[in-house]
């Protein structure tokens, strides 16, 4: 192609972002201090190594980030590679707004004075080696001056979700863990799929325990069978909880059908949201799941419940 030829059209922003989201990364918080001594930091998954000799790394900061000016002028910075226990910090430092991200956060100084977050899987103190403006981001290349690592379980990020990354261990016998899969499936109109029990109460649809595999191919096929629809979103984890009554771990997945639905069972029915809430009030477990689903769907801010039937917590899923 001649240098005078026009550039071919690129992918749309949404398609480009979706493709990048499939790349599994770690999560870092990059920190620095400005000339006035004010601390700055941002959550970044754009961190990567560049060179071993000399030891170089890089990260990218968006031009719209509140810390852009600080990183465009600083002489040094620190990269904190987050552990899973620092999930709250990942959320805190990813938000925009005029507030002190470091308020109440324990820090110590790296070799160049940049704030270091104790409890990180590792941190690197760096001097600025080079800066490059690339599109709507500033690429900052740093020369590593000091490092520290520990054995904390690292935090990962993919497809809009934070993940726990632990070293692989020998597989346990299949019978050591029993699990069932429940479904929180809705339509574009907001109706929720429920299953009527023999005694007349409503429950969430459940796949037979013996069939459970949990790989993406099985999840999509199982959701299609339950919903009676060929077109639906990729299932996403909604809740995982332990039921001490039968020793089975339940994983609930959410997804949405976007095509025609064929009724697969007399027990299964797509029910309007308010009716679903009214019909499930007699079951604390089912009602709490439906209520959370409706609330988080309205806010477009889904989380993942983790715990037992009796108690647990919802981990909010953020975006970087």
Render pLDDT for 27-84 as a digit per residue (tens, 0 to 9): 999 999 999 999 999 999 889 999 988 999 999 999 988 999 999 999 999 999 999 8
Is the same domain home to 121 and 187? Answer: no
Range of the domain at 254: 174-316
| Number of independent structural domains in the chain | 2
Q: Is residue 295 domain-shared with residue 187, that is, in the same domain?
A: yes
Q: Establish if 270 belongs to a structural domain.
A: yes
**Could you tell me if 68 and 146 lie in one domain?**
yes
**Has residue 257 been placed in a domain?**
yes
CATH number at residue 46: 2.30.110.10
Q: Looking at per-residue confidence, does 186 or 3 come out higher?
A: 186
Among candidates 282, 283, 303, 281, which has minimal Cα distance to 292?
Answer: 303
- Flag whether 5 is in a domain: no
- Strand-pair partners of 277: none
Q: Which helix (H) or strand (E) holds 268?
A: strand 268-271
When pLDDT is cut at 50, 70 and 90, the band that residue 21 belongs to is low
pLDDT greater than 80 at residue 275: yes
| CATH number of the domain within which 213 lies | 3.90.79.10
State which of 117, 133, 164 marks the end of a domain. Answer: 164
Residue 138 to residue 68: CA distance in whole angstroms: 8
Residue 123 clears pLDDT 50, i.e. is over it = yes
Ranges assigned E (strand) in 150-235: 155-158, 161-164, 179-187, 192-196, 202-203, 206-207
Does 67 share its domain with 154? yes
1, part of any domain: no
């Amino acid at each position: 192609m001649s240098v005078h030829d026009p550039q071919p059209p690129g992918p749309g922003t949404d398609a480009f972002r979706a493709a990048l989201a499939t790349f599994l990364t770690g999560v870092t918080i990059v920190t620095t201090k400005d000339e006035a001594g004010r601390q700055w930091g941002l959550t970044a998954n754009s961190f990567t190594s560049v060179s071993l000799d000399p030891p170089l790394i890089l990260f990218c900061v968006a031009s719209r980030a509140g810390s852009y000016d600080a990183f465009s002028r600083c002489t040094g910075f620190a990269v904190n590679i987050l552990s899973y226990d620092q999930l709250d910090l990942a959320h805190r430092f990813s938000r925009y707004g005029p507030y002190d991200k470091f308020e109440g956060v324990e820090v110590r100084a790296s070799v160049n004075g940049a704030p270091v977050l104790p409890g990180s899987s590792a941190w690197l103190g760096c001097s600025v080696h080079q800066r490059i403006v690339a599109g709507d981001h500033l690429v900052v290349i740093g020369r590593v001056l000091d490092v520290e690592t520990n054995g904390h379980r690292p935090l990962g990020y993919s497809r809009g979700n934070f993940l726990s990354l632990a070293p692989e261990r020998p597989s346990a016998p299949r019978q050591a863990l029993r699990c069932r899969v429940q479904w929180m499936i809705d339509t574009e109109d907001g109706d929720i799929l429920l299953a009527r029990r023999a005694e007349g109460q409503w429950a969430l649809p459940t796949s037979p325990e013996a069939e459970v595999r949990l790989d993406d191919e099985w999840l999509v096929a199982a959701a299609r069978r339950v919903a009676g629809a060929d077109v639906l979103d990729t299932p996403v984890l909604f809740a995982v909880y332990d039921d001490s009554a039968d020793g089975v771990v339940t994983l609930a997945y959410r997804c949405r059908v976007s095509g025609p639905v064929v009724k697969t069972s007399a027990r299964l029915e797509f029910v309007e949201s308010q009716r679903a809430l009214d019909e499930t009030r007699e079951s604390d477990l089912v009602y709490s799941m439906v209520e959370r689903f409706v609330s988080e769907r309205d806010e477009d801010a889904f989380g993942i419940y983790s715990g037992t039937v009796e108690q647990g917590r919802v981990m909010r899923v953020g975006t970087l």
